Amino acid sequence: MADSMPSVPPDRFTALRGAALLADPVLNKDTAFSPEERRELELEGLLPAAVEPLELQVRRVWDGFQRQDGALARFGYVSALRQRNLTLFHRFLEDHIEAVLPVVYTPTVGAVIEAFSHTDLPGGQGLYLTPEHLPQLPELLRRAAPQGVDLLLVTDSEGILGIGDQGIGGIHICQGKLSVYTLCAGLNPERVLAVTLDVGTDRPSLLSDPLYPGLRRRRLRGEAYDAVLDGFVDAVAAVFPQAFLHWEDFGSPQARRVLDRYRHRLPSFNDDIQGTSVVAAAAVLAGCRGQGVRLEDQRIVIFGAGTAGCGIAKRLVRLLELRGLSNEQARARIWAIDRQGLLLEGQEGIPPAAVPFARPAVEGDGFDRDPEGRIGLQEVARRVRPTVLIGTSAVAGAFGRDVVEAMAGATGQRPLILPLSNPTALAEATPGDLLAWSGGRALVATGSPFPPVRHDGRERPIGQCNNCLVFPGLGFACVAVGATTVSEEMIDAALAALVEAIPASRDADAPLMPAMAACQTVGAAVAEAVALAAVRQGVARLAGTEQQARACLDRARWSPTYPRLRPIMGAAQAAP
């Protein structure tokens, strides 16, 4: 439930009448229209007689939600609500965070995306742009958002969650994350836009599926791909010059390159690189602080050197450097494992982003190798005795008993184990197994939600390393203060705010992440920290002081409450 009742919004004026008004999800109030509004806005006879408060509407929606059979049905139910009544949708999500957030966001959204071509689930609204649209992009953006846009959430759908290339189905992850922006931070849902860049797909099942509604041709690469991205960013800069770009689920060949290419053109953020790295690093820092051990003394193994894994490694290196280590010393605390096994200098096929984390080739001489010549996770665990193990591999069950037992017996401290791959079926291990194999010593946080685990007669809540604890507050702060860039110092501030909110930072037996029910409190703390950091760096266009930054945050924060609607006299529109 919300911590406090939202303030009453100012009156709004509309030229819409009757059925046209009921068809507008931004202004529609369903049974909450007052008798005066019904009379003035030509709604009499179009609604049931009862005039109901928002709280009663939420209760009815909750009853209907509970009657739905399965996660996909529940997704369709709440998505239909979002398309009909935006205020009621967001209030329902706010009042039932722990039940509804996993439906509109991870893990359910992964199943929704996979079923995109073969279900009629609502909720895929947004802008679908193809290379053929390049000459029209400015006009298409204006049509899609005539009211203006503060934030665009953009994907090319090549690296969706742990399920890879999903074509235009990625629009659902954009919609889900926009809902999370509003829930956790208060971003105005009327001023956001979901965009999928349909540059083709390399998934054979989509290319051969007559029901797939996107472009059925191979993905653009090279200069042709860059031309689409350049044209899109140019159009956004022309039409919405102050907008914030959230890049989402780009494949590992593109994600870092796209972020670096445009981050100085418009304020940009890649959640898979930056958001995941902040959440994972915050869990590691909190776990170290709760145990009274130093980050610089840890031996960190990252299993999966793709976009997320390399982002985490880079973030940890930065944190180690801030603690006085050289770049070389910081990188020496990290062992990265990918398809080639332990990454060693000179190996072929190392992803470009992972090259800085390859160990000196000579180190490989002391390790046993599998028949393909690879140094696997089990061997690394046996020889390195890691104190921190992070999984971003999408290899289900990769963290086996031998690996966990090697960690549990490594030192006097408790091992930190983060199986972050999602959806749930792709997790590297389950919390129950990790606690059982470590004798209850492991400190665990996961990428997908897991129920509490009972061990040694007590219940252990499992923290979820959910990016919704970072990106909403960060993006909202940038919009609110008009940040002209997203600096590393601003991301550092978001990380520090999250660490302070993690229970394990004060008690090693507590969860490694805040409960999802606290996401609004955490979002507010992250937003304030980021806004103040932007002011200190002189990149906050709308705020020159910390007091002004806080005022900007208060003014920008949207809440799910109904305004009093008043007619614009003489401008009534006919019902469609």
Active site residues: 105, 177
CB 74 within 8 A of CB 101: no
Phi, psi of 154 (to 5 degrees): -120, 135
Calpha distance 102→105 (Å, rounded):
5
Cβ-based neighbours of 194, under 8 Å, separated by 6 or more = 125, 126, 127, 152, 153, 171, 174, 175, 178
Cβ-based neighbours of 94, under 8 Å, separated by 6 or more = 1, 2, 183, 520, 560
DSSP assignment string, 67-97: HS-SHHHHHHHHHHHHHH-HHHHHHHHHHTH
| Angle formed by the axes of helices 519-537 and 171-185, nearest 10° | 90
- The tokens of 53 are what? 């408060």
- The amino acid that residue 557 corresponds to is R
CA 429 to each of CA 423, 433, 441, 512: distance values in angstroms, whole numbers, following the listed order? 12, 7, 15, 16
Q: Are strands 244-248 and 192-197 parallel, antiparallel or unpaired?
A: unpaired
Cβ-based neighbours of 547, under 8 Å, separated by 6 or more = none
- The tokens of 190 are what? 């009327």
CA 33 to each of CA 8, 47, 559: distance values in angstroms, whole numbers, following the listed order? 15, 9, 18
Identify the burial level of 3 via C-beta atoms within 10 angstroms of its C-beta, where 0-12 means exposed, 13-18 middle and 19 or more buried.
exposed
SS3 146: coil
Calculated CA dihedral for residues 250, 251, 253, 256, nearest 10 degrees: 40
Calpha distance 421→308 (Å, rounded):
10
